[in-house]
Amino acid sequence: MSGEDKFDVIIIGAGPAGTACAYTLAKEGKNVLVIERGVTAGSKNVTGGRFYTYALDLVEPGLWKDATLERKVTHEQIMMMDGNQSITIDYSNPLFNKEGEMPQSFTILRAVFDEWFASKAEEQGAVIACGIKVDGLIEENGRITGVKAGGDEMFADLVIAADGVNSMIAREAGLVPELSDKTIGVGVKEIIELPAKTIEERFHLKPGEGASLLMLGCTEGIHGGGFLYTNNESISLGCVFTPSEAAAHGRQVHDIFQDLKMHPSIYPLIEGGKTVEYGAHLVREEGYRGIPKQLYRDGLMVIGEAAGFVLNIGYTIRGIDLAIVSGVAAARAVISGSNPGPAYLEELKNIKLLPSMKAVDGYFDLLEIHRLYETYPKVAGGVFNKMYSISGETPVSIKKGIWGVLKDNKVSLWQLVKDGIRGYRSI
């Protein structure tokens, strides 16, 4: 093999994980090639973007100031829905967004963000080849030595798979089994354009501020939920379902999503907007326990969502920051000069990625409680209904009202206690 056909590292996929890794390696003078299937980085992405800023600071302090971000998240909201009724909790804390300091989190549009990030890695000297699909790995004596793409072969000391949730490369290498319909969600999302001023009025935001809203009870009892993020001049609205349950439910995912859009608490937020993009994608739902047992083998490492680094813990969904962090960890492992596989695992611990995911592992159990997706939003709605119904009649006591609602929804005291304990344990 000639020098022309050999790199220090080949990274498959120019998403946040692959690009963060390429950036860090190229900055240290490594000869890096990133192969991206999309025509540009981000062009194949449909993530409804929210991003935690600390991750970009790990790549390069202050880099976030230059990034194409949408709005800093100042309002964290959770909405429970049942039929036409809804309960919303809105949490805001100026400490997350102190004047002159790095805001904690931003909404982003991935197509824009990824392209910007890739251009930054290119500035550091990484070679990014877009519009090319990697067909497979080259293996010699049990070691991965390169990739096949089109008719071409390209070699490297190390190949890094950053090819996302449905990683063909990690599967081919035998690191990740076929995805199971129990452990992944199907997400659908629309980007709905609205003037910045309208968004700010509807969500009570100042210019540059944004809201993140997660919804429960909007999936007709199917394991899943909805999300809404405010961008500068658009809203990302979507929902995620467990596909096998959705199929058994006999309703199209798209129809349930349409109902969500028409919900009396959601429609006024998007009214008059124009849908400019529709996408569907898979997302891992297992958190820590979804991480493959083996994240590397000789000549190959897996990073980002390909390695299961996604967290859906009900009140927040994280993936982009974890992807970036894992990319940095992989790069540091390579730079350290020691055996990259074990060094990568060590870095994942040092950089607090594995510990962070492990700490919230219990949420998976909480989110497994089926009553969370229909019964409890109904119960909550019923209780609020009792509290706020004033007709001049003598009201039943709240206590009685709660028991009535529980009975109506066939929730026994025993179930409630059991779910309560399970919920408490899991957090």
Partner 1 sequence: MSNVIVCFKWVKAEDDLRIDSSTLAVDLSKSKGKISDYDRNAIEAARIASEAAGSETVALTFGSADTKTALKDALSRGPKQAFWVNDVSAENADGFVTANMLAAAIRKIGSYSLIVCGEGAADTYAHQVGPRIGALLDIPVISFVKEMRIDGNRLYAVRKLEDSLEQVEADLPAVVTVLPEINPAPIPGLKAVLEGGKKPVTEFKIQDLDLEDGDTSRKTDVVSFKGCSMSRKKILINEGDAKERVTALVAALKKEGVL
Which residues contribute to the site for partner 1 (CB under 8 A)? 5, 33, 35, 40, 127, 129-132, 149-152, 154
Q: Which is nearer to partner 1, 149 or 320 (CB)?
A: 149
The Cα angle at residue 224 between residues 223 and 225, in degrees rounded to 5? 145
Q: Which is nearer to partner 1, 12 or 239 (CB)?
A: 12
User: How far is CA 62 from its chain centroid?
Assistant: 23
Q: Which is nearer to partner 1, 130 or 282 (CB)?
A: 130
206-224: b or e for each residue (b if 16 or more CB lie within 10 Å)? eebbbbbbbbbbbbbbbbb
Q: Which is nearer to partner 1, 39 or 427 (CB)?
A: 39
The region that residue 421 occupies, defined by phi over 0 for left and psi between -120 and 50 for alpha, beta otherwise, is alpha
In whole angstroms, how close is the CB of 111 to partner 1 at the nearest point?
10
* Strands 152-161, 300-302: pairing kind: parallel
In whole angstroms, how close is the CB of 149 to partner 1 at the nearest point?
4
At which residue do the structure tokens 């695992």 appear? 345
Other CB atoms within a 10 A radius of the CB of residue 185 amount to 24
In whole angstroms, how close is the CB of 350 to partner 1 at the nearest point?
34
In whole angstroms, how close is the CB of 84 to partner 1 at the nearest point?
22
In whole angstroms, how close is the CB of 160 to partner 1 at the nearest point?
16
In whole angstroms, how close is the CB of 48 to partner 1 at the nearest point?
19
Q: Which amino acid is at 425?
A: R
In whole angstroms, how close is the CB of 418 to partner 1 at the nearest point?
47
In whole angstroms, how close is the CB of 198 to partner 1 at the nearest point?
16
Q: Which is nearer to partner 1, 233 or 374 (CB)?
A: 233
Task: Kindly state the greatest CA–CA separation across the chain.
Answer: 88
Q: Which is nearer to partner 1, 35 or 205 (CB)?
A: 35
Q: Which is nearer to partner 1, 151 or 337 (CB)?
A: 151
DSSP code of 200?
Answer: H
Q: Which is nearer to partner 1, 37 or 378 (CB)?
A: 37
In whole angstroms, how close is the CB of 193 to partner 1 at the nearest point?
9
Name the strand (E) or helix (H) holding 97. none
- Record the tokens describing residue 352, joined without a space: 């607090």
- Record the tokens describing residue 194, joined without a space: 């609205």
Distance CA(113)–CA(109), nearest Å, equals 6
End-to-end alpha carbon distance in the chain: 53
Q: Are 353 and 329 in contact (CB under 8 A)?
A: yes
- Record the tokens describing residue 56, joined without a space: 């970009």
At residue 225, φ and ψ (nearest 5 deg) are: -170, 180
User: How far is CA 222 from its chain centroid?
Assistant: 19
Q: Which is nearer to partner 1, 276 or 387 (CB)?
A: 276
Distance CA(427)–CA(425), nearest Å, equals 6
Q: Are 134 and 148 in contact (CB under 8 A)?
A: yes
Q: Which is nearer to partner 1, 40 or 183 (CB)?
A: 40
Distance CA(423)–CA(369), nearest Å, equals 9
Q: Which amino acid is at 74?
A: T
In whole angstroms, how close is the CB of 25 to partner 1 at the nearest point?
17
Nearest to residue 230, comparing CAs of 196, 266, 254, 260?
A: 196
